[in-house]
Amino acid sequence: MSDESKTARPDCVYCGGSVGNIGKGEHVIQRALGGKGEYLKCVCGDCNAAFSELDQELASRSPMAAIVQQELGAAGARTWGYDANLDLALEAHALPDFTFPPLWPQLVLLGEAPLFAFDYEDAMRIGIPDFARAFWWCLTAAWQSLYEKPNRWRIRWERIDQPPTRGRFPPRVYTEHTLDQFRQGMTFKCRYVGDIDQGWVIHHLRKWRPAHRYRLDVAWGQRDLRAHHHYRPEFVLRALVKIGLNLLVYLAGPEKVNLQSFPVAVQFARHGRRLRLNPARNGFVVNADVNSLDCPPNCHRFSLRYDNGDWTCVFAFFGGRIGATVSFPGPMVGEWRSAEVTVPFKGGDPTWQVRTSPLVIPTLDLRVEWHDMQQVMPSIPQRR
């Protein structure tokens, strides 16, 4: 065998094109869910990048985001606290233990002068006046970058289509940094609903001085955490199908799992085409049903089974705290008809555990649930 044939890479399993230079490759389980240690070298850079939107939809926008924040300490892209006195939604983030959501430091463009909101405990470590001055110093450097460094802006504009269901949502400029992370050059976001005049925002930022209009309610967020779950169900289903296909590629190789052998599932994951999944049988499931997989702590567990021309994938994420299921057509990919893959997502032994069987695992009686999140995530308090 020639050296060239030894190093030849397979075509991309999702588009059939050349893989090229992809670095480590595509995570079998996306990094946003704690996936690590196993990569696919048979997914091209374009497909890998295209899947980022699906990964974000599942891990940062769907109900799973609340558990991702708890287990991985990730910042929630759409988590808000609520100030009942002013009827305001405020930028917040969930702590891993979910006891209460601290506020990100933020200027809410409310009335004639911005309202400076912040987390009380974070500010009290150096005193509120010094905290406010440190925020102002970093913010000043950020808006000045709009003029001095046009290719390295430190303020990012983010329009949201669906504001929180409770509280007014005037424009605000905030940073996803705590006091320990304050530094000149850190990034701020301007989040708003509808249309906005960016010049008007910068005008208010330039005028603001940290001398008054602090908001000092130490109970902010303790009474009412709003974890926003405005997401696209089809994108979540595509993300789940992608995980199922990635696992099959990991178990059987790209020679057996690719665009030619799984055309319907691959086209659905990559482009949202050809496959219409019944939402009554695919999606998030009642947590009590997923517990039958006996997922160990600090692990994900995935059950795959082949029966009568279809693959069914059952997912127990984060120790079984939230589960899902999807089915898609495709051929057998080996001598086995069922497999169970256990994947650590933090701490301990990072080794993946795989069990395969020539027998079909009995069909699990799974109840799909899209609306009652208390049944899907009983460990997360739901506030209405």
H helix or E strand, kind and range, residue 202? helix 198-207
- Please write the tens of the pLDDT for every residue from 220-231: 333 333 444 567
245 and 351, same domain (yes or no): yes
140 and 12, same domain (yes or no): no
87 and 166, same domain (yes or no): yes
262 and 216, same domain (yes or no): no
Determine the Cα–Cα distance for residues 46 and 57; give it in Å rounded to an integer: 18
Average pLDDT, the chain: 84
Higher pLDDT, 37 or 157: 157
DSSP string spanning 228-295? -----HHHHHHHHHHHHHHHHHHHH-TTTSSTTTSHHHHHHHHHS-S----TTTSEEE-HHHHGGG-P
- Please write the tens of the pLDDT for every residue from 353-363: 999 999 887 76
Please identify, among 227, 252, 273, the residue that sits at the C-terminal boundary of a domain: 227
The DSSP letter of residue 104 is: P
Inside any domain, residue 268: yes
206 and 237, same domain (yes or no): no
pLDDT of residue 218: 39
86 and 33, same domain (yes or no): no
Q: Which residues pair with 174 in a beta bridge?
A: 106, 189
107 and 59, same domain (yes or no): no
330 and 222, same domain (yes or no): no
Inside any domain, residue 73: no
235 and 366, same domain (yes or no): yes
- Of the CA atoms within 13 Å of residue 71, those in its CB half-sphere come to 27
pLDDT of residue 72: 82
Inside any domain, residue 218: yes
- Region 165-184: what's the mean pLDDT? 90
17 and 36, same domain (yes or no): yes
pLDDT of residue 66: 79
- Please write the tens of the pLDDT for every residue from 363-384: 678 999 988 888 998 887 654 3
87 and 184, same domain (yes or no): yes
Inside any domain, residue 324: yes
Please identify, among 193, 208, 227, the residue that sits at the C-terminal boundary of a domain: 227
pLDDT of residue 220: 37
Q: How many domains does the chain have?
A: 2
Inside any domain, residue 74: no
Inside any domain, residue 381: no
Collapse the DSSP code of 371 into the 3-class scheme (helix H, G, I; strand E, B; otherwise coil) and give the result: coil
Inside any domain, residue 72: no
43 and 18, same domain (yes or no): yes
Residue 339 C-alpha from the chain's centroid: 26
Domain range for 109: 79-227
- Please write the tens of the pLDDT for every residue from 296-309: 999 999 999 999 89
Inside any domain, residue 346: yes
Please identify, among 227, 262, 295, the residue that sits at the C-terminal boundary of a domain: 227
Two tokens at 288? Answer: 């009590």
What pTM was estimated for this model as a whole?
0.68
- Please write the tens of the pLDDT for every residue from 49-97: 889 889 988 987 788 887 887 788 765 556 787 777 788 888 887 665 5
